[in-house]
Amino acid sequence: MAVKPNSYILKIVYPGHGAFLYMSTLSENDILAVLEEVRDPQSGKSLIANKMIKDIHLNNGSVRFSIEFRDPNFPHKETVTKSAENAVRALDGVASVEARIIMNDPLKVIQPAVPQAPPPGMQPQAPAQPPKLTKAKYTIAVASGKGGVGKTTVSVNLAVSLAKTGAKVGLLDADIYGPNVPIMMGVNQKLGTRNDKIAPLRKYDVDMVSVGFISQGDAAIIWRGPLVGRMIQQFLTDVDWGDLDYLIIDMPPGTGDAQLTLTQTLALTGSVIVCTPQEVALADARKGINMFEKVEVPILGVVENMSYFIAPDTGNTYDIFGQGGGKKMADSMSVPFLGEIPLETATRQGGDNGTPIVVSSPESPVSKAFASMTESLIAQLEQKDEKDPGLLKRVFKIK
Ligand SMILES: Nc1ncnc2c1ncn2[C@@H]1O[C@H](COP(=O)(O)OP(=O)(O)OP(=O)(O)O)[C@@H](O)[C@H]1O
Ligand SMILES: [Mg+2]
């Protein structure tokens, strides 16, 4: 790491004697020196020797740096971070200290098999092709322009509904910063390994992978930008999915660069856009549709969630957010409409307690709406398959 001294003027005010100017020459070297004394309790080695200290920034006495933990399950992250901050704070000329926790590659613990050298006399193999996801017949992204409209709710209920048809279904939580699949599917376990790969967790006949099965509790974790894309690739290629019929991908909210990159990284059969009926949500849904069209991912359909409210006591229905907006929007953009899902208390409760509504009340109006939406989606896939048989044979591509 390049060492840049960071001199600055410190103004010291003595009451009754005016202000004096004092030159401090705090440098990265000083910080590295004190961090040399802070040890990782597991290995007994210093944070410097373990190369855990990254990105030191000095600015007029305020110090920021990152501590990289390679093992996501390392139990002393907070203690080590506090000790490092305290050590730096004790240095002369330090006004404030902020240490960020960085998780380096959380999947590094699971090393892919090392390729074998070819036997003597045999031609070396061509360079490895990008990993291919050929096992899922249909890879479907569930997305929206707007947050909180029900992507995860639709993803889990769709995945479980598809599994009920006897299909083999995977659910990939691509929301690295706010993974909700573990809560909504009621799974609180850590990922293990199988056949030298990551073993997905299984519930309600759905195989799942989420970053929530790696990180711990509510600890604030900062994923480095490029790792987000790489982690999704690993979720596709290093997971022992088996032969899937459907892989449902719960996308993070929005249509920014991160979502665009994800969309380009995944070989998607198509996308399902979730919206709610009010105009502001529809405007964002249009952006979502445009994003997928820009990267030539077919829109399999629009789902309007929270279409109308079903009162739990009377069963009466109320159009809280307006009516029919999703269908009109889908028609105007010439994309299929897959159905309306009502707003219902039991659906929210099912999300919070980890029992999707299609499991707890399969006969409820919402579950019937999910079943009908699932049928419409399957019909769309069959149609697409007929129109463009090659579509379903597209392989996983990496930029
Ligand atoms: N049809 C519904 N009826 C009742 N509650 C619902 C319904 N759909 C979603 N919810 C609730 O609304 C909240 C947001 O839903 P959800 O988390 O699925 O949205 P999201 O689009 O995935 O959000 P984010 O953008 O944060 O990922 C959750 O508490 C969920 O249980
Ligand atoms: Mg979500």
Considering the chain, what percentage of its residues have pLDDT values greater than 90?
Answer: 37
- State how far Cα 71 lies from the chain centre: 19
Residue 117: inside a domain? no
pLDDT in tens, 275-306: 998 887 788 889 889 888 888 889 999 999 99
**Sign of the alpha-carbon torsion through 42, 47, 52, 56:** positive
User: Which of 142, 152, 175, 308 to mutate for ligand 1's pocket (most ligand atoms within 8 Å of CB)?
Assistant: 152
pLDDT reported for residue 225: 56
- Domain residue limits at 74: 8-103
Averaged over 93-99, what is the pLDDT?
88
**What is the chain's mean pLDDT, rounded?**
79
Q: Where is pLDDT greater, at 125 or 44?
A: 44
Averaged over 25-46, what is the pLDDT?
88
Q: Which residues line ligand 1 (CB under 6 A)?
A: 144, 147-153, 175, 178, 180, 253, 305-306, 341, 343-344, 347-348, 351
Cα–Cα dist 160/318, whole Å: 27
Q: How far is the CA of 39 from the centre of ligand 2 (A)?
A: 38
Considering the chain, what percentage of its residues have pLDDT values greater than 70?
Answer: 78
pLDDT reported for residue 339: 96
Residue 153: inside a domain? yes
Task: Indicate the pLDDT class of residue 232, thresholds 50, 70 and 90.
Answer: confident
Nearest one of 135, 148, 162 to 300, comparing CA atoms: 162
Q: Are 362 and 347 in contact (CB under 8 A)?
A: no
The minimum-distance atom of ligand 1 relative to the CA of 274 is 21
Q: Whose CA is nearest to atom 30 of ligand 1?
A: 348
The minimum-distance atom of ligand 1 relative to the CA of 147 is 25
Clarify whether residues 251 and 377 are in a common domain: yes
Q: Whose CA is nearest to atom 6 of ligand 1?
A: 348
Ligand sitting nearest the alpha carbon of 310: 1
Q: Where is pLDDT greater, at 338 or 127?
A: 338
pLDDT in tens, 156-203: 999 999 999 999 999 999 988 889 999 999 999 888 888 888 899 999
Residue 87: inside a domain? yes
Q: Whose CA is nearest to atom 25 of ligand 1?
A: 147
pLDDT in tens, 124-146: 444 333 343 446 889 999 999 88
Clarify whether residues 91 and 158 are in a common domain: no
pLDDT in tens, 211-229: 888 865 544 455 555 566 6
Asked if the model's pLDDT at residue 399 lies above 50, the reply is no
Q: How far is the CA of 84 from the centre of ligand 1 (A)?
A: 39
Residue 249: inside a domain? yes
Clarify whether residues 13 and 90 are in a common domain: yes
The minimum-distance atom of ligand 1 relative to the CA of 144 is 21
Q: How far is the CA of 61 from the centre of ligand 2 (A)?
A: 40
Residue 112: inside a domain? no
pLDDT reported for residue 104: 61
Q: Where is pLDDT greater, at 42 or 397?
A: 42
Number of domains present in the structure of the chain: 2
Clarify whether residues 42 and 86 are in a common domain: yes
Clarify whether residues 79 and 150 are in a common domain: no
CATH number for the domain spanning 75: value is 3.30.300.130
Q: H/E/C letters for each residue in the chain?
A: CCCCECCEEEEEEECCCEEEEEEECCEHHHHHHHHCCCECCCCCCECCCCCCEEEEEEECCEEEEEEEECCCCCCCHHHHHHHHHHHHHCCCCCCEEEEEEEECCCCCCCCCCCCCCCCCCCCCCCCCCCCCCCCCCEEEEEECCCCCCCHHHHHHHHHHHHHHCCCCEEEEECCCCCCCHHHHCCCCCCCEEECCEEECEEECCEEEECHHHCCCCCCCCEECHHHHHHHHHHHHHCECCCCCCEEEEECCCCCCHHHHHHHHHCCCCEEEEEECCCHHHHHHHHHHHHHHHHCCCCEEEEEEEEEEEECCCCCCEECCCCCCHHHHHHHHCCCCEEEEEEECHHHHHHHHHCCCHHHHCCCCHHHHHHHHHHHHHHHHHHHHHHHCHHHHHCCCCCC
User: Which of 142, 151, 153 to mutate for ligand 1's pocket (most ligand atoms within 8 Å of CB)?
Assistant: 153
CATH number for the domain spanning 142: value is 3.40.50.300
Averaged over 251-268, what is the pLDDT?
78
pLDDT reported for residue 280: 79
Task: Indicate the pLDDT class of residue 120, thresholds 50, 70 and 90.
Answer: low
Clarify whether residues 298 and 210 are in a common domain: yes
pLDDT reported for residue 377: 95
Residue 238: inside a domain? yes
